[in-house]
Amino acid sequence: MINEHLPALQVVVPLLAAPICFLIPNKRLSWLFATLVSWLSFAMAILLVIAVNDGTILHYEFGGWAPPWGIEYKVDIFNSYVLLIVTAIGAAVFPYSWKSIQKEIPETHHRIYFTAMLLCLAGLLGMTITGDAFNLFVLLEISSLSSYTLISLGRDRRALTASFQYLIMGTIGATFILIGVGLLYALTGTLNMADLASRIPALEGSRTLEAAFAFLILGFGLKLAMFPLHLWLPNAYSYAPSSVSAFIGATATKVAIYALLRFLYTVFGSSFSFDYMQVHWLLMPLAIASFMFASIVAIFQDGIKRLLAYSSVAQIGYILLGISLVNVTGLTAALLHMFNHALMKGGLFLALGAIAYRIGSTRVQSIAGIGQAMPYTMAAFVIGSLSLIGVPLTVGFISKWYLILATLEKGYWPLTVLIIISSLLAVVYTWRVIETAYFQERPAGAPAVKEAPLSLLIPTWVVILANLYFGINSSLSTDLASHAALLLFGGSLL
């Protein structure tokens, strides 16, 4: 029975766990409960990946109403893969949160923090798993509202402005998505994605369809921080509590990219998106600007969190570049980088959270000389950085490799050069941090620093080791990504 309800439970369990968590009077219990739920979600995502790995597609009809009248969940290789990314990061961040928020969030707000985290997790999972365009919007609202709350919990007063800025940009994005879905409904009379997909080809040439397409691309572009719509991201990531930066930084933009791909390939179909609308000629220059510009800006940042945030904008650029190449290798690279970037950025933000726990600051200067005092934390940071640069034996290398192959396959060798230059820029900005930590003296009179507690180190190292594991034994992630890419291309040929 459980198996048959698995797609629904994947979202319903964390969704209903949120109000339960809010009812639990004891803070430690609410943490244990939320952590248990996040592990349960991860387990369910693994089961779903196994269930759809042979190409089956799972359907779940809410209320027993068949689509397009009712709402349908639909799990295939592509979205089960994204579910896996989101829940895996969740399963590492939830246990990590307990220690991390002790110093960053006032005790009165701990229960609210876990409730909002559960809402955010459920919202992101729901956006990923749903087969209904309007349902996607509803869960987008849940995840957005809770992430604004989570960002505003940051210790610095500027977290409030950052959260407000994100709220305004996010709401504009969500409104654009809603307008797009509304226009599609006016044209087709349906909200189900598969049903939309079967009715859209007949409408090619309709100006309303073009407008719907434009609104949806822009809406998701805002949510996924596509250059130049990324302005909310650096502030949001740098002022949020460490654990929130790790969770949202690793998952939220990935889910927005997933939704964009779902609309480009499944709903509109690749012939409309790429042959008719030629959207890749919009995405490609923005992607290039994104990773070149953001990598350069990252070099000049004083705060490490802000540096990592700009690096995220750059990584999103790589993913968009993979998409804009419109070939299977490029799409595989994009999907792989969604997974790999979640691992590297998740690991880096978690390591940074452990530093913040001990020294209370994440400015580059304030970590001078902590390399000896916090060897395990800094080692994790170094491995994460190597992965970010794309050094062999880390996941970063795998996705860069595929991306470079894809550009060469298309014969766009100048792009290959740009990717390599941007990777060298990543060496520069991560080296500044590593050099300060290892080769500078701790300022005289600074308080002694101890290694971070195990409850922070273990989740951090689990994610960091995953960077190495999937970098060496890459067959699992590359198989999943290439199957998903083939599915998207194949699905559009039908």
Partner 1 sequence: MSNINLLIDVVLLAMLVLTTIAIVRIESLFAIVMLTGVFSLLAANIFIILDAVDVAFTEAAVGAGISTVLMLATIGITGYEQKRRRKISWVAPLIVVTITGAVLVYGTLDMPAFTDPEAPIHTHVAPRYINESPTEVGIPNMVTSVLASYRGYDTMGEVIVVFAALIGVLSLIGIREHKGDPKHLEPPARPVLQVMSKFMIPFIILFALYVQFHGDFGPGGGFQAGVIFAVAIILYALTFSQQDAMDLAPPRILKRLASLGVLIYGGTGVVSMLKGGNFLDYNVLAHDPVHGQHYGILVIEFGVGLTVACVMMLIFFAFISRGDRNP
Region of 210-218, 345-353, 444-452, 478-486 interacting with partner 1 (CB under 8 A) = 210-218
Number of chain positions touching partner 1 (CB under 8 A): 60
Q: Calculate the alpha carbon distances from 278 to 42, 223, 245, 413 in Å.
A: 37, 21, 34, 21
HSE-up of residue 205 (Cα within 13 Å, Cβ side) = 1
Per the listing, tokens 């922070």 go with: 456
Encoding tokens for residue 373? 């005092």
Region of 140-148, 249-257, 319-327, 410-418 interacting with partner 1 (CB under 8 A) = 140-148
CB of 411 to partner 1, least distance (A): 34
What are the DSSP calls for 284-341, one per residue?
Answer: HHHHHHHHHHHHHHHHT-SBHHHHHHHHHHHHHHHHHHHHHT-SHHHHHHHHHHHHHH
d(CA 89, CA 74): 22
By CB under 8 A, residue 157 contacts partner 1: no
By CB under 8 A, residue 29 contacts partner 1: no
User: Is it true that the peptide bond before 414 is cis, omega within 30 degrees of 0?
Assistant: no
> 186 vs 454, which CB is nearer to partner 1?
186
By CB under 8 A, residue 3 contacts partner 1: no
> 108 vs 475, which CB is nearer to partner 1?
108
By CB under 8 A, residue 214 contacts partner 1: yes
- Residue 26: other Cβ atoms inside 10 A: 10
By CB under 8 A, residue 204 contacts partner 1: no
DSSP-based three-state secondary structure for 250: helix
Which phi and psi (to 5°) does residue 72 adopt? -125, 140
Q: Calculate the alpha carbon distances from 111 to 91, 157, 344 in Å.
A: 18, 21, 28
Contact 89, 97 (CB under 8 A): no
By CB under 8 A, residue 490 contacts partner 1: no
> 207 vs 450, which CB is nearer to partner 1?
207
Q: Give which of 375, 273, 391 is closest to 324, Cα–Cα.
A: 273
CB of 250 to partner 1, least distance (A): 21
By CB under 8 A, residue 146 contacts partner 1: yes
Region of 142-150, 276-284, 342-350, 379-387 interacting with partner 1 (CB under 8 A) = 142-150
By CB under 8 A, residue 228 contacts partner 1: no
Window 70 to 89, contacts with partner 1 (CB under 8 A):
70-71
Sole binder of partner 1 in the list 76, 88, 98, 126 (CB under 8 A): 126
Window 171 to 200, contacts with partner 1 (CB under 8 A):
179, 183, 185-191, 199
By CB under 8 A, residue 489 contacts partner 1: no
* Footprint of partner 1 (CB under 8 A): 5, 8, 12, 15-16, 18-20, 22-23, 60-65, 68-71, 108-109, 112-113, 115-116, 119, 126, 134-135, 138-139, 141-142, 145-146, 148-149, 152-153, 160, 179, 183, 185-191, 199, 206-212, 214-215
